[in-house]
Amino acid sequence: MCVSFAVKKKMNKFFTKIKELQEKNNTKLCIGLDFDFRNKNWKEIEKLIYDTCYQTEDLVCAYKINIAFFSGIQYINDILKNFMLSNINIPIICDGKYGDIEHVAKRYAYTCFEYFGFDAVTVNPYMGSDVIKSFSEYKDKGIFVLAKTTNPSADEIQKFDNDDCYVVANKVIDIVSDINKNNNLGLVYSTDIFDDDYFSYDTYGLPILFPGIGTQGKNLQKALKYKGLKVISVSRDIINTENIKERAKYYQGLTCG
């Protein structure tokens, strides 16, 4: 198994806010607002979002918006800007998995952080560290970099081994740790790593967003083993139920364990 040495670092404003809410609400739960908005008008969309948040804001430490579910919707800019300006005082992660050449990445960063006002984003590091740096210039924001994802074919690239147990996912972790000058970088990391000696257990103490809990079947108990700051994302297994609040309470109870 590859082993890295953990280095504890200070947390920036975003990660400090996450930690404070985890302690206040006794939870590590992040709800993904990945509703199917097709055939809904903008008023119905706004009601669905706000009703979900008002029911669950005392049960979470963050919300996550997958920007794909908002694409092609009329008045999308107004919907998202109004949401970010609302009185819901919970950090919002924009799950856009952005990754492009530097001057384009800077525009994505501007749009996410300055135009919409999101608190954090997910970033795809495939094009290298300059993509990540374009976002990390925003010192008070959070940037979660894809390292090990939950989709079925992820290992085709992320587990590619060009040396003895040094796979691409581990290279990403090393890069993120090296350039984390503003203490605002974290990882997107599947719990699969706990079952596979190719992946490093130790991630330099970086905050981790654990996806795939719930519908995708990833192991929550394994995510809870991680000793660093962790945000545990559940989407469809909460928002597609008849009683969103009760389902969120269920996961809130599991993540505080």
Q: Is the pLDDT of residue 151 over 60?
A: no
Lowest mean pLDDT among 49-53, 63-67, 148-152, 190-194: 148-152
pLDDT band at residue 39, thresholds of 50, 70 and 90? Answer: confident
- Considering the segment(s) 13-255 as one domain, its CATH architecture is Alpha-Beta Barrel (3.20)
* 235 neighbors 64 (Cβ within 8 angstroms): yes
- Gap between the Cα atoms of 136 and 138, Å rounded: 5
CA–CA distances in Å: residue 34 to residues 128, 156, 206, 215, 222 = 28, 26, 26, 12, 24
> Strand locations in 104-224, DSSP E?
120-123, 142-148, 185-189, 208-210
Q: Where are the chain's structural domains?
A: 13-255
Highest-scoring range by mean pLDDT, 23-37, 81-95, 159-173 = 23-37
- Gap between the Cα atoms of 229 and 245, Å rounded: 24
Q: What per-residue confidence (pLDDT) applies to 252?
A: 94
Q: What per-residue confidence (pLDDT) applies to 6?
A: 44
